[in-house]
Structure 1
Amino acid sequence: MNAEAGRARRQPARQGALVSAARVDPGFSHRSWSIAHAGRSDCLCFFVADGVASLVPEDGESMELMGPAVVWIPLPTNGVVRMDAGSSGFTFSAAEEFVWRTVGDSVLAADMRAMMDQLVIATAEDVLPVIDELWTSFAGIVREVRVQQPGANAITGFHLGVILLHLWRSRGAAVAHGGGATTIQRFRQLVELHFREGLGVEDYARSLNVTRSHLHEACMRLAGQTPLAIIHARLIEEARTRLEQTDMSVEQVGYSLGFRDPAYFNRFFRRLTGQTPGAFRKSAFASAPAPGSASFAAWP
């Protein structure tokens, strides 16, 4: 089935140029939505109530989202959101001006606006305690957009505000509760999306809306590694995979992972593995089983 055929067939209702919303019912095939930034002036939000969805950034690897989850996608993002067959939930887009008007000038406005400029993922840990409220608000937006009764903008804005506040709470949960589990979970998600971009620990902390020391403490307590070690481990994992499974030269592997100096990539790889990339590739090829040598134990 091609991509067009896999897209959601229910066209979202429109509220002028301000809001578009739709309920996603379980189907027999996957549905996908393009989140290309070109010409887009709205923010996107997906509520995966049940099932599995994937966020596939244009310049990153797919990230799987297990329902229930809420994903807020800001304007600078490009890529595709895909919901697997059988999944259900809601989706809406809102013009930036409508979102800012909803947030208004409350005491939380500055924090919430900073949050809305970033990719936000509220996982089951955050969503389950408030899933009834979220369902009511997403369903309320769909209803108001379709019915278009007097006051629809105001009610839609109210429900949008509830959703944004719950997303804001989910972002601050790790700091407020001090446990760090949410922080490190989101940190690993961001690393998965951006590990090839050369971002520093400070960049990740800023995206997570936590201090560098809080991120360091959470990683050490729950993973036994520093944030930098986690970033480096992901780079090494990917480098090994590409050295083993592709015909790319060592220099090309380094470039594909964000290293602009082949010599530095060699030193980096050797420092963390004890081998140069070339030596690792040779040893990997030497230890690979010969074609047709699989034992009966490998049979299905």
Structure 2
Amino acid sequence: MRGTGPVKQPIQRYYLYGDQHSDVDLDFLHVEPIRDRSGAHDWIIRPHAHPDHVQILFIAQGGGWLRVEDREFDIPTPSLMVIPSAMVHEIRFEPGTDGHVITAAVGYVNFVAHGDSRLVDAVMYPGTYALSGTDVWAEGVRDAFDWMHREFVWSAPGRKPAIIAQMLRILVALLRLRSENAARSQQAGADRDYALFSRYRELLEQNFRTEKGMEYYAASLGVTPPRLNAACKAKAGRTASEMLHERLVIEAKRYLLYTEMTVAEIGHDIGFDDPAYFSRFFSRRAGEAPGAYRMSARKQRSGG
């Protein structure tokens, strides 16, 4: 745990870290270099929250870590950080960290998003988003923050729409980063499903004659039966049990078609001690009794 431990004092709630105000309107927006406030506090931002305000940070150089409620995030470079409103958070920056921080009222974000809920959602979840290796252009993000800060500290014609334009660029960048992260997570999940599915098929091939319980297969693979079923359904469209039953029926059909073994012998060979139970099992899944299948399959094979 890298945090400062249990907070013994009441959680401070600031509009800007270290400033107490109560009359900030819904259009409230503030932009400043990270060093202005964090550097003055030895690069340590202690646990606090911003009521009704979100923070978006661009980290150009440096790094550190962020803790929001009970979650911790490393801060890569370059990256964007999101701290949603009312969430208790603390930050430990590396000394000399460079970048900008935007503090914006939720109402201002809604105004800039102009009814696009995806843009609002982009600042509703805490996290850090590395820019390297993504489709989001890091220099474009840097430019948006730099431009917003320049507009914020001076007054010129078109200042407000210029700030809105840069805020919109930043929200779109966050939306795209979140989408890319979601796609990577989905792909990673798909890859994990495939790996588990492949291991299950190998284990099934080795043990389908002797092991009929999903608990055995799941335990051997180090997962729960529901997790195994989820992977099989994702990659094969069938549960793990259905795959086992299909493999048993395929093996039984091979024996019925290519050997003279009795139905009871075939059932015993693939793990059914009760011939009657094996016949019922086969009939339910093949649509006909073992003997009937043997006759029809051999007739079809001989061209009769």
- Amino acid across the alignment from 1:131: A
Structure 1 residue 216 corresponds to structure 2 residue 179 = no
Aligned-pair CA distance for 1:128: 8.2
- Amino acid across the alignment from 1:20: H
> In the alignment, which residue of structure 2 is the partner of 1:66?
76
Whole-Å separation in 2 of the counterparts to 1:222 and 1:119: 30
| Structure 2 runs not aligned, ≥5 long | 5-15, 198-221, 228-304
Residues 21-170 of structure 1 aligned to structure 2 (within 5 Å) = 21-25=31-35, 30-33=42-45, 36-37=48-49, 40-57=51-68, 59-60=69-70, 62-105=72-115, 109-125=116-132, 130-170=137-177
Kept in 2: contact 1:68–1:128 (CA 8 A): no
**1:204-235 CA distance string (max 9 Å, x none):** xxxxxx6xxx6632544699998999xxxxxx
**1:238-270 CA distance string (max 9 Å, x none):** xxxxxxxxxxxxxxxxxxxxxxxxxxxxxxxxx
Aligned-pair CA distance for 1:43: 0.8
Whole-Å separation in 1 of the counterparts to 2:196 and 2:145: 35
Whole-Å separation in 1 of the counterparts to 2:130 and 2:223: 23
Gap change, CA 1:128 and 1:155, over 3 Å in 2: same
Gap change, CA 1:89 and 1:172, over 3 Å in 2: same
RMSD: 3.9
Kept in 2: contact 1:70–1:122 (CA 8 A): yes
Gap change, CA 1:150 and 1:123, over 3 Å in 2: same
How many percent of aligned residue pairs carry the same amino acid? 13
TM-score, L = length of structure 1: 0.50
Gap change, CA 1:166 and 1:93, over 3 Å in 2: same
Aligned length: 181
Aligned-pair CA distance for 1:95: 1.2
Kept in 2: contact 1:23–1:139 (CA 8 A): no
Determine helix, strand or coil for the equivalent of 2:156. coil
Gap change, CA 1:82 and 1:35, over 3 Å in 2: same
User: Whose radius of gyration is greater, 1 or 2?
Assistant: 2
Aligned-pair CA distance for 1:126: 5.3
| Structure 1 runs not aligned, ≥5 long | 184-209, 230-300
Aligned-pair CA distance for 1:148: 2.9
Aligned-pair CA distance for 1:28: 10
Aligned-pair CA distance for 1:120: 3.8
